[in-house]
A and B are shown apart, each in its own frame.
Chain A
Amino acid sequence: MKLHRLLLAPSLGTILIFMALPIALTTLYSILSPAQYGGVIWQPSGEAYVRLLFERDIFDDTLSFNADYLQILGRSVVQAGIATILCLMIGLPTAWFIATRPPAQKSLCLMLVTVPYWVNLLVRTIALLLMLRDEGPINGALQSMGLADGPLPLAYNNFAIGLGLVSSFLPFMILPLYAAIERFDFSLLEAAYDLHASRWQAVRSVILPILRPGLIAGGLLVFIPGIGSYLAPDILGGGKTLMLGNLIGMQFQGSRNWPFGAALSTVLMSVTLIALILVARRAAREEA
């Protein structure tokens, strides 16, 4: 029993120091007042949270509703959602294909999935930008083949951001799905057909329940980092649209409003946490 606890200590310590403490600090900063040149004054204030939804008139202090930040949150959710769906559409067939190969090929395929991730994310994102932009090879090839008159606007827009998110997070979808499919006993499918299940019934009652943990894990692993992503909108979007990550970054730099940045981070973390708890509860209920 004692050894048991001792063995837990390193992981508990890591979680405490690198997760609980920063979250506590962030939450604390979000309820303090901003200092003029960045940093905080130790004076409690709920202003940062009021600002999420309302703007204060600088003359008469009246509050009016302001949807700017909700829009940015909405855009982040939509972009991350689209990226998750696209990752699923590409990831599911890929994972299925890999899981049904002979063992020797499986490990080779899995390695190939991870090869691009040996390169740093920043380098990959910049490389993607260089390929997409007007003077890049894709537009060059399209024009030399006569498929386009002028350069197509591939870079510096939402399309580029979405592409960046999908290419960043695709393996996080493929790997959990692969793990789920790999465990699947295909004789179950034959049994279903023997019992006169239709194709749709077989998918719904046999394949889907087995895929579910992989789908949930993959979906969360793509959606959660996607919603707070900083690099893709920053580099591929040409800095023309803000997502939540960029808005938070801005508060700690030029805008010098740390409490507001901390409040945004706290809200993002809370939303993520609530979503996780809901998913976990549903999964537990279904298993019971």
Chain B
Amino acid sequence: MRALAILLLTTAPAFAEGDLFIYTWGEYTPPDLVAKFEKEFGVKVRIDSYDSMETMIAKLRAGGAGYDVIVPGDATMQVLIAEGMVEKIDVFAMPNFANVDEKWREVYWDPKREYSAPWAWGSTAFAVDTAVVKGDTSSLAVLFDPAEEVKGRINMLRDMNDVINMAERYLGVPRCSENPDEMKRVLELLETQKEWVKSYDSETKELLVSGEAVVSMAWNGYSMRARDEKPTIAYVYPKEGYTGWMDNVAVAKGAPNLDNAKAWVNFVMDPENAAMITNYARYSNGIKGSEAFIDPALAAAPEINPPADAPAPEFIPTCSPEATALIDKVWTKLMN
């Protein structure tokens, strides 16, 4: 049905005064939000999707794809600004910027919010099947010092940064460490753990629901979808800390439809519109007043409401080339 709606929308006759070409993650943009924008502004929206930040950067670098709006994650946003690949659109001066939650105004990747608006944010931690994993699950020890029934049934994300960040937290090593001795300890921990790991796979929902994995690293929104299909799945905010991330709406350098793109950025900072993003993608948005429009079941979900004693999410900038080289080395050795 959704596919049909998208098809109808994208093939609608060109009644519009202009176009808007959005390049974003798959299944991330609510079709009803697009329809509303098209109706309000008389603009025809087209959407193309990518599967990783690397793909997006590569395509932008190659140029000529004609994208207007992109949706980069926090660390990528920092790179795009440094490399001059996004338009300076002074988001802070837009009418709807007043709705942006204060904590998302001064962010490391865009300190003055000159280039980007919040789209959605979430966290990367882990999920357990409470039917199998009993007892206290609040520590990363569930993954790194597993109980008998968990051994051999652990899934880690296939992302070297996420896996290594998690191991660093368990050991108390800082993120993006440039110290070879610290990274050696990280490698030793991960090598010990590998015996008990079933797979390094990003299809976490499917693995948890099928029962292949009983503990898996997970994103909060994806974990919520797993719980829909298997109620015993619970998302954990580990006491050692966890990674937070935010996807942002920005405008690609040389966007052919700059005005429409700016209109879109302002449009998604409206509380009612931001709520549509959350209802569809199941991640929190950064817009004040959107709570009133969010599905009640979603608003109360533990995956987007950390318990009071949970630590704050940690947002991690791109590591230095030295730290990246060490991370690469640890991962290559781990996979050897």
Chain A contact residues, CB within 8 Å of chain B? 34, 36-39, 55, 58, 68-69, 71-72, 133-135, 156, 238-242, 246-247, 250, 252-257
Contacts and interface: CB of A to CB of B under 8 A. Distances in A.
29 contacts: A34-B321, A36-B321, A37-B79, A37-B318, A38-B58, A58-B178, A58-B180, A68-B332, A71-B336, A72-B336, A134-B212, A156-B198, A238-B201, A239-B158, A239-B201, A239-B335, A240-B197, A240-B335, A246-B335, A250-B331, A250-B332, A254-B54, A254-B327, A254-B328, A255-B160, A255-B324, A255-B328, A255-B331, A257-B328
A135 B230 CA distance: 15
A72 B109 CA distance: 37
Given A239-B201, A240-B194, A253 B325 contact: no
Contacts of B201: 238-239
B322 interface: yes
Given A135-B211, A253-B54, 4 more contacts: A71-B336, A239-B335, A254-B54, A257-B328
Contact of B200 (A58, A239, A255): A239
A238 B194 CA distance: 12
Given A37-B79, A38-B57, A38-B58, A58 B198 contact: no
The 9 A-B pairs with the shortest beta carbon distances in the complex, nearest first, are A238-B199, A239-B200, A255-B328, A242-B335, A37-B79, A239-B158, A253-B54, A254-B160, A156-B199
A134 B211 CA distance: 9
A135 B210 contact: yes
Interface in B114-165: 158-161
A37 B199 contact: no
Interface string B181-219: 000000000000010011111000000001110000000
B333 A37 contact: no
A73 B178 CA distance: 28
Contacts of B210: 135
A257 B328 CA distance: 10
Given A37-B79, A253-B54, A254-B160, A133 B212 contact: yes
B199 A254 contact: no
A116 B29 CA distance: 36
Nearest to A239: B200
Contacts of A34: 321
A256 B324 contact: yes
B322 to A, nearest CB: 6
A66 to B, nearest CB: 9
Given A135-B212, A238-B198, A254-B160, A68 B333 contact: yes
A58 B199 contact: no
A253 B55 CA distance: 8
Contacts of B197: 240
B83 A253 contact: no
Most buried by A among B57, B326, B336: B336
A55 B58 CA distance: 28
Given A37-B79, A58-B325, A242 B332 contact: yes
B6 to A, nearest CB: 23
A239 B199 contact: yes
Contacts of B336: 68, 71-72, 241-242
Most buried by B among A133, A134, A246, A254: A254
A175 to B, nearest CB: 34
Contacts of A242: 332, 335-336
Contacts of B200: 238-240
B207 to A, nearest CB: 9
Contacts of B103: none
A129 to B, nearest CB: 10
A36 B57 CA distance: 13
A107 to B, nearest CB: 39
A257 B329 CA distance: 12
B74 to A, nearest CB: 14
Most buried by B among A58, A239, A247: A239
Given A71-B336, A239-B201, A242-B336, A253 B328 contact: no
Contacts of A69: 332
A58 B331 contact: no
A196 to B, nearest CB: 56
A257 B326 CA distance: 13
Contacts of A238: 198-201
B199 A247 contact: no
Interface in B48-63: 52, 54, 57-58, 61
B54 A38 contact: yes
Given A68-B333, A253-B52, A39 B160 contact: no
B61 A39 contact: yes
A79 to B, nearest CB: 14
A55 B335 CA distance: 17
A240 B199 contact: yes
Contact of A252 (B54, B82, B198, B331): B54
